[in-house]
Amino acid sequence: MDADCFLGEHLDTLPLGGAWWVGFDGQTPVCYAGLARAGKKWSLTRAGVLASHRGHGLQRRLVRARERHARRRGATQVSSYTHAGNYPSANTLISCGYRLTKHWRSGGSTFLTWSKDFA
Ligand SMILES: CC(C)(COP(=O)(O)OP(=O)(O)OC[C@H]1O[C@@H](n2cnc3c(N)ncnc32)[C@H](O)[C@@H]1OP(=O)(O)O)[C@@H](O)C(=O)NCCC(=O)NCCS
């Protein structure tokens, strides 16, 4: 997957009324992530890292950056969901302190919902 394709696939699904991040390696966009707001409960929406740049902690950094942004703006909770088979995303969320709150099925797939409360 090249960089243009990678971003183009997801641009129309980035959150409206929230914020998003794009990380660059030189001139090349290599990762992105979105954050949506609903009162004091925010959600991590969408994230991706270019295949050539995976496994270096970029997703974790994107989670942390979005948490900081949300906390500074009064968030009391951040949540997210993953496909049940997305082990890298699940591992990132678990190691960042998220807990599994429910699992649900849609369109033949199983999804997991995760959340983290801020003290
Ligand atoms: C999921 C994705 C964003 C991860 O990005 P990344 O920058 O490579 O992730 P990181 O390097 O931060 O690693 C995340 C965690 O996954 C773990 N991991 C990496 N590959 C793994 C694998 N094949 N199986 C299980 N865990 C794996 C890492 O060890 C790390 O866990 P840790 O924080 O406990 O050490 C990336 O693979 C991707 O863009 N996938 C396609 C799109 C997608 O699935 N987006 C997320 C939708 S929720």
DSSP, residue by residue, 48-80: EE-GGGTTSSHHHHHHHHHHHHHHHTT-SEEEE
Max intra-chain CA distance, the chain: 40
Q: Give the class (CATH, top level) of 3-117.
A: alpha beta
Stretches in the chain below the pLDDT threshold 70? 1-17
Cα separation of 102 and 16, whole Å? Answer: 25
Query: Tokens 């997801």 sit at which residue?
Result: 10
pLDDT of 43-67, one tens digit each? Answer: 998 899 999 999 999 999 999 999 9
Model pLDDT, residue 1: 42
Model pLDDT, residue 12: 58
Cα separation of 58 and 19, whole Å? Answer: 17
- Ligand 1 site, residue 8, Cβ cutoff 6 A: no
Model pLDDT, residue 20: 87
Q: What are phi and psi of 91, to 5 degrees?
A: -60, -40
Q: Find, among 64, 52, 56, 58, the residue nearest to 32 by Cα.
A: 58
Can you say whether the dihedral through the CA atoms of 58, 23, 42, 10 is positive or negative? Answer: negative
- Domains in the chain: boundaries: 3-117
Atom of ligand 1 nearest to the CA of 86: 44
CA of 64 to the centre of ligand 1 (A): 14
Atom of ligand 1 nearest to the CA of 60: 12
